[in-house]
Copies of this chain bind each other. A is one copy, B any other.
Amino acid sequence: MADFDTGLHRREANFAALTPIDYLVRTSEVYPHKLAIVHGNIRRTWGETYDRCRRLAVALRQYGVKRNTTVAVMLPNTPEMVEAHFGVPMSGGVLCSLNIRLDTEALIFCLQHGEAKVLLIDSEFLHHLPAIREAMPALYVIQVNDVLGPIVPPSKHSDTDYESLLQSARNLYDWQMPDDEWDAIALNYTSGTTGDPKGVVYHHRGAAINAVSNIIEWNMERHPVYLWTLPMFHCNGWCFPWTVAARAGVNVCLRKFDPKVCFDLIRQEKVTHYCAAPIVHSGLANAPDEVKAGVNHVVKGQIAGAAPPEAVLASMEELGFEITHVYGLTEVYGPSAVCVEHEDWKTLSLQERAAKKARQGVRNMLQAGMMVMNPNTMDIVENDGQDMGEIMFRGNIVMKGYLKNPEATDAAFAGGWFHTGDLAVLDADSYAQIRDRSKDIIISGGENISSIELEDVLYKHTSVLACAIVAVPDEKWGEVPVAFIELKPGARWTEEEVVEYCRANMARFKVPKRVIFQELPKTATSKVQKYELRKKAKEAVAQG
């Protein structure tokens, strides 16, 4: 055998740490005058954006930020949030994007657990500052006065403002690429429906690879116009701040979701791509016709968190939108599975197509593995659409681990795979379809009932805006399903009619035992708060 190793080691010339920072550098080299950011009256190029990111990095380093320093941000989808996705890692620091919907206590938990040294905070959220400063007096607080945010004076609890910070940067070359592609780039706290939030750590390698994976899986050509309907604090916006830079696209910023504002931006800026939770898709699909009218180009949307309901899919297709269903969670950098569509699906009926697209699908090409397995034996389930197991991932789009939580990390990675907690079956074509979150499954009279399956049936009814099925303890059956339904404005549907509809559309034992009409409570990341509904359902059933 020839010696393919000696003298053929890694060196500066033939090895570079993979990092999404380089995507910004390269785009600013090749497209310095191309539009990067749109926000109100702000229109900045990639050259300007690179300059501002360098200033942020340098100023943070002047303050003392270096490798592994946590820099927290509490920002809506503003230009500063895009800049933080580059400027913070370019300082060597780790970006901790806080969920802006959290309460003060939860925010302080994340800041303290993550040992944040710096906080960038939008002027809308200054009311949290007194308590935060009291809990963390050494925190360096930078107030961000977004042009579209509330106009307020400097808080006495902030140390400086963002623009002054950028101005303070001296040597614009004093920023750094990561020494090692395994270095942390971001820290994202899970929403934590039970127990304390966990700090999910991302590394440069994974962020760089997932940013490219987004391009690959979405067939994304150069110069997309990307509308920021998805919060960037959610898995770093599924890594799209880095993807948009890689493709020299436009970030159309958005402080807050509003269907009319979105459609205005879609028409004005010729938006080509967006990602969003189901609730946002419903909001777009159900907007008044006059709001939706006049979009004359193709818009591509990604939906995750739940399958696209048939009615939403139909509305979006009618508008000329192309919707891709993706699947993932914080621990895999956002979606790392995709319901890849096949050419022959185009000939299917809407109903058949929606059924195919409702599935979570297959691994991204750049994710090494996705399997549905029995978590005890690690045996792969049969691809018969029946045999249930847990979805597991392995590969380069899996987190570095949970911060300061070796037990949780080891448990999550048991058997060499990341355990998602989502229960699924495999279809004949080996596409995975979630039947339930482990904790959401309803076991009634020894039969497993998938709450998702029931929700799908309800979503097919034209009166339903949103719905959720939860389990309630029952002496006779063990558990029984209870339905919560949020009706569309003006819709009328009685409990009796719902039960009748369910009986006609599902096995008898699956029919909800109670139906409660109300607006659904949601987590900060737009997931329905089932644990709240479970409490309420229990009370309602107890009251008879």
Q: A residues near B, CB below 8 A?
A: 1-8, 10-16, 18, 22-23, 26-27, 29-31, 68-70, 94, 114-115, 117, 182-184, 187, 201, 206, 212, 215-216, 219, 221-222, 246, 340, 342, 362-363, 365-366, 368-369, 393-396, 398-401, 403-404, 406, 409, 412-413, 416-418, 430
Contacts and interface: CB of A to CB of B under 8 A. Distances in A.
A182 B4 CA distance: 10
A4 B29 CA distance: 32
Q: Main SS of the interface on chain A?
A: loop
Contacts of A12: 394, 413, 416-417
A178 to B, nearest CB: 12
A27 B366 CA distance: 11
Given A2-B68, A2-B70, A22-B368, A8 B400 contact: yes
A368 B17 CA distance: 9
Nearest to A115: B2
A418 B219 CA distance: 32
Contact of A404 (B3, B16, B31): B3
A456 to B, nearest CB: 24
Nearest to A11: B413
- Number of this chain's copies in the assembly equals 2
A398 B430 CA distance: 37
Contacts of A396: 14-16, 18
A523 B305 CA distance: 57
B368 A246 contact: no
Contact of A413 (B14, B184, B362, B404): B14
B184 A418 contact: no
B212 A7 contact: no
Contacts of A216: 212, 215, 246
A4 B212 contact: no
B1 A68 contact: yes
Give the most central of A3, A7, A362: most B CB within 10 Å. A7
Give the most central of A30, A70, A394, A430: most B CB within 10 Å. A30
Contacts of A117: 1
A500 to B, nearest CB: 41
Listed from nearest, the 4 A-B pairs whose CB atoms lie closest are A12-B416, A16-B368, A4-B184, A14-B398
Contact of A340 (B30, B69, B219, B418): B30
Contacts of A215: 215-216
Given A2-B404, A23-B365, A29-B362, A16 B395 contact: yes
